[in-house]
Amino acid sequence: MSAGYEVAVRAEAALGEGPTWDPAGGRLLWIDILGSRVHTYEPGSGRRTVRVTGQHVGAVKPRVGGGLVLNLRDGVALLDPDDTFRWLRHEPVPGRRANDAAVAPDGALWAGTMRYDEAPGGGSLSRITGDGAAHTVLDDVTISNGTGWSPDGRLMYYVDTPTRRVDVFDHRDGRISGRRTLAVVEDGAGFPDGLTVDADGCVWVALWDGAAVRRYTPGGDLDRVVALPVPRPTACAFGGPDLTDLYITTAATGLAAPPPLAGSLLVVPGAGHGAAQPAFAG
C-alpha cells in the first residue's frame, strides 16, 4: 500500500469525475456531475477554468479538431473551439442521465448512462462515431462506469459498479465479445468506479467508499493500492507532459460529514506510465 498524494485543485465538487489529460492544451479536464460543471487545470501554470453546462454532465473529452465532446443528461454534445455549443445526439429520457465515457482507439465515444434512481438494468453503454451514428453495445447496465482499452486495443475493460467487478472483453472493429471477469472487489473494500489503463496494460480503478485506487495486472492480480484521505474517489487518469502523474477525482455527495479534501482533485506524482488517449473523431 502506498500514498504520496498531493492536492492538485482544492475544490468542493459534489461528484467530481472523469479526469482526462488533454495533451494539445497541456491541461487536465474533469467534471462535477451534479454541479453541472466542466473544470480545466493546467499543472504547469496552475491556471483553472470552470464552465457551467446547464445540465448534469457525465464526461468530457477532447476532440481531434479542437473543442470538447460532452456526455450530457440529454445526449452527446459538441463544444467547438470558438465556444459554440451544438448537439451531436439529442435524445433525452426522463429519469436517466449520462455517466462516465471513454474514447476508443478508433476515435469513437463509448458513452454510459444510468437511472437517477439507480434502477437495475436502467442504464446502457453506447458507441457513438464522429458523425453522430450510435449503436447500443450493452443495454442491461445499472451504473455504467469505467471504460478503457489495452495499449494494443484488443481488450476493453468495463465497470458496472454494483456488480463489484472489473470485466474484460475482446475488442475488434468497434465490437466487443467474450465478456469475463478480470477482478472482483471484495465486500467491505468499496465499489469499482472509474478506471484507466497504463502503458503496461495494468488497470487502475478508483474504489467508491473504498478510500483507495487499486492497480490490477492484465492477469487480474492486485499489485498496488494507493490509499487516499477521502472515502469516495471516483476515477483516475494519467496526465502531465510524460503521462506519469496519476490524477484522481473525488466526491462529497452523500457523506454526512465530508472530510476536508472530499470533492478535490488529487494527484500522485510519478505513479506510473500512462498510455496516450485518443481524442474524439468528431
Catalytic residue numbers read 193
**CA end-to-end distance (rounded Å), the chain:** 40
For residue 91, which of 126, 130, 143 has the smallest C-alpha distance? 126
C-alpha cell at 277: 488517449
CA distance 237 to 46: 18
Backbone angles phi, psi at 134, to 5 degrees: -130, 145
Contact 194, 249 (CB under 8 A): yes
For residue 166, which of 126, 117, 220, 243 has the smallest C-alpha distance? 220
CA distance 155 to 85: 33
